[in-house]
Amino acid sequence: MKGESFSVDTESAGTLAGLRWGSTRDLPVLALHGWLDNAASFAPMAASLSGVQIFALDLPGHGKSDHRPPGMRYHLMDYVPAVLEAADALGFTSILIMGHSLGGAIAGLTAVAAPERVQAMILIEGLGPLSESEAKLPARLRDSVSGYARVHKRTAPVYLDIETLVSSRARIGPMSNASARLLIERNVHQHDDGYRWRSDPRLRLDSPVFLTEPQVLACLKAIAQPTQVLLGNDGMLSKRETLGPRLEALNSADVRWLDGAHHLHMDHPEAIAAAAADFLSQFSQ
């Protein structure tokens, strides 16, 4: 299911593109993808999730959405107003958010920043942002500033064929080739000399600052909305020692472990759709 294209204009991030699945009579859910992914991340699950209208955004700088202006950076917190402005443009006064990885972190921060707007969340392999000891801040700041100074001097890479990109993305994921192809096809454009990335190269640069783990836990404790957490048995979060305390920090959550790695919503869409449908049934229109 390729989905229907849409776009919304935001004040803080320009025009954001997206894909929509489902009927206008179905329950609307705003879907946020992971880092360097795009709206096509939710295509496999959309085929199995009936009764739900998915509005999947390309986050700023990703997929077919606008890049930030020259000199601007991609700070984690800046995604929050962009999401709220996109929801406004779509006419959502109360938002159900589904987020994967980075999208899950953004969803949680949005719930903290605007609790009156977020009704509930489904977090797929995403429970708070990455954290780091405050002792690492000076080096991180130096690396980030120097990285941004160099990015303008780089030449955008050109790839002769899309198959190389698909196989490389599948290995990095890890994910199936079919899932990787969905992401790659939306994230490249073709020129006479080959394929180039659509995504902003600044997305790959180091962040100037991470939250500390106590700060992340404080944010999770502030989330009062009903929350479902879907985790892969072989996912990235299963290997992190921060997972247990983060789950405990949530006031109440429907936590489910399912087969799959980090992109389990793409490689095992039926199981994720079934879990999400069960959770969303309490909000049916």
| Percentage above 90 pLDDT, the chain | 85
Domain enclosing residue 223, as ranges:
4-133+210-283
> DSSP class of residue 258?
E
Burial class (CB in 10 A: 0-12, 13-18, 19+), 281: exposed
Residue 12 lies in a domain: yes
CA–CA separation, 135 vs 138, rounded Å?
A: 7
Answer yes or no: is 105 within a domain: yes
Is residue 44 in some structural domain?
yes
Q: Tally the domains of the chain.
A: 1
Q: pTM, whole model, 2 decimals?
A: 0.96
- Does the active-site annotation cover 101? yes
Can you give the CATH number for the domain in which 241 is found?
Answer: 3.40.50.1820
Whether the predicted pLDDT of 251 surpasses 90 = no
pLDDT in tens, 130-175: 999 999 999 999 999 998 888 877 777 888 889 989 998 988 888 9
Active-site residue, from 41, 101, 179, 199:
101
CB 272 within 8 A of CB 52: no
Residue 204, in any domain of the structure = no
179, 42 contact by CB (below 8 A) = no
